[in-house]
Amino acid sequence: MYGLQGRVALVTGGGGGIGRAIASRLAEEGCAVGILDRDAAGAEQTAALVRAAGVPAAVAVGGVERPEDVTRAVAALTVALGAVDILVNNAGILRTAPFLETSAETWRETLAVNLDGTFHVCHAALPQMVARRRGAIVNMSSWTGKKGVPNHSAYSASKFAIIGLTQSLAGEMAAHGIRVNAVCPGIIVDTQMRTEAEELNRRQGLPDVEARAKGIPLRRPGYPQDIARVVAFLVSDEADYMTGQAVNITGGLWMS
């Protein structure tokens, strides 16, 4: 355990998948957890898991791509739980297609949720961290944010950009006692986003997750809990000399 009792965490995209695993793990560590998600029912289910761990939870419904939703959500969750100590920018979407079949609409939607959403939530939550001179942020990138892969142009572009944003914020916010890191998952299963992506891959004749897992040195795909464990470490005092990092969680699929 990392001694996070009494801290307040905000997890975007916490209504399922990786976000739910992160929220649950932070609750086990003693954090009160605010959940921002477009899926009200999923967010409430996650909140129930958080409360079952014996800590408070609160839900705000909205899309991170809409700054008005984010401003309202951060204000409401702060009233409900207190000032945010930990921010996990997990909300994201994945669309796969050959580049010439990627529409401008898909491109804009992907960057709006993945990149603009991270910007909006940081912009809303950071002032209270700066005022109190403490905080930890983890942004969700991807191994495809370090290596561009075919059929992922919009997604990879958004995830590369998140690493750049993470590094810039880390350098700027260190003087305020705030650490900013990113995590870069590999092939993660048991999430709605992955299920949707696998269906798109099937339609395009691309290899399924089982076939791709054979190329992972640890010989398995990742699970949401694999990501949650690393996030819990990064937001804890055990990682208090880490900032500006983009940590691979890929089973060895990507090593730089």
What residues are annotated to the active site? 155
Element (H, E) at 10: strand 8-12
Residues 6+ apart with CB under 8 A from 242: 179, 181, 234
Element (H, E) at 41: helix 40-52
Structure token digits, residue 66: 């809409």
SS3 5: coil
Residues 6+ apart with CB under 8 A from 229: 25
> What is the spatial distance between Cα 228 and Cα 194, in angstroms, rounded to a whole number?
16
- Strands (E) in 16-163, as ranges, are 32-37, 57-61, 86-89, 135-140
Structure token digits, residue 118: 């991270």
Q: What is the 3-state secondary structure (H, E, C) of 43-65?
A: HHHHHHHHHHCCCCEEEEECCCC
